[in-house]
A and B are shown apart, each in its own frame.
Chain A
């Protein structure tokens, strides 16, 4: 199994540009999450989804959007990139026990906004 796969691994954006961070998992997990990790900090939850067609805001959702049309995919959209969105983004998934169990993380997408 590939687990959780994120693309791209690295990206540089100019201020005001938009992009989509892709995330897919092959474990048939209903719960998926997007986190951002700033240098020297822990992870902060951006958005999460408990199943296809259902999404909800996390701790830091401003400037981002998500969709969940299938169980496998949970893309994160940045519409107007800002320098404050420079970070490493991690996608994760869990089974239906949610965050009362192990989360599987992708390798991360390192985004720089200049």
Chain B
């Protein structure tokens, strides 16, 4: 079946630096992508989403970039803070809609060094 994967399981960055978390997807029919943040012992929390008719979307300190040509998604976090330490998941709606189409990647653990 289709899958979503992340390039690195762990990413360590210095506090104040920018973080870039990458994600590759394989389903060319995917038209909606989401980034979730999961802190230890908590449920996933929505960060930002992007639809396939866009290639960039910005939020507060976060930017998602979508490259449909190479099926690549990235999450950029500006001026990383200790509170950004978490596991970040990308997810894609491979079936094009509906309740059963969301596929999650395995996650990248972002570690912030002081």
Binding site for B on A (CB under 8 A): 4, 31, 33, 40-45, 48-50, 56, 58, 90, 92, 94, 98-108
Number of interface residues of B (CB under 8 A): 25
Residues from chain A with a CB closer than 8 A to the CB of B34 are 102-103
Cα–Cα distance between A100 and B101 once the two chains are bound (Å): 9
Cα–Cα distance between A103 and B93 once the two chains are bound (Å): 12
Binds A, one of B14-22, B72-80, B104-112: B104-112
Cα–Cα distance between A108 and B102 once the two chains are bound (Å): 18
Binding site for A on B (CB under 8 A): 4, 9, 32, 34, 41-46, 49, 89, 91, 93, 97-107
Residues from chain A with a CB closer than 8 A to the CB of B99 are 31, 33, 48-50, 56, 94, 98-99
Cα–Cα distance between A98 and B93 once the two chains are bound (Å): 10
Most chain B beta-carbon contacts within 10 A, residue among A56, A94, A100: A100
For this complex, 24 residue pairs linking A to B, each with C-beta atoms less than 8 Å apart, are A40-B106, A41-B107, A42-B4, A43-B89, A43-B104, A44-B104, A45-B102, A48-B100, A50-B99, A90-B43, A94-B99, A98-B99, A99-B93, A99-B102, A100-B93, A100-B97, A101-B49, A102-B34, A102-B49, A103-B46, A105-B44, A105-B45, A107-B42, A107-B43
Q: A41-B106, A42-B107 are in contact. Are A99 and B44 (CB under 8 A)?
A: no
Q: A42-B104, A105-B43, A108-B42 are in contact. Are A98 and B89 (CB under 8 A)?
A: no
* Min distance, Cβ A59 to any Cβ of chain B, angstroms: 8
Residue of B nearest to A40 (CB): B106
B100 touching A90, Cβ below 8 Å: no
- 8 smallest beta-carbon distances between A and B, as pairs: A105-B43, A42-B104, A102-B46, A99-B102, A43-B104, A48-B99, A98-B99, A105-B44
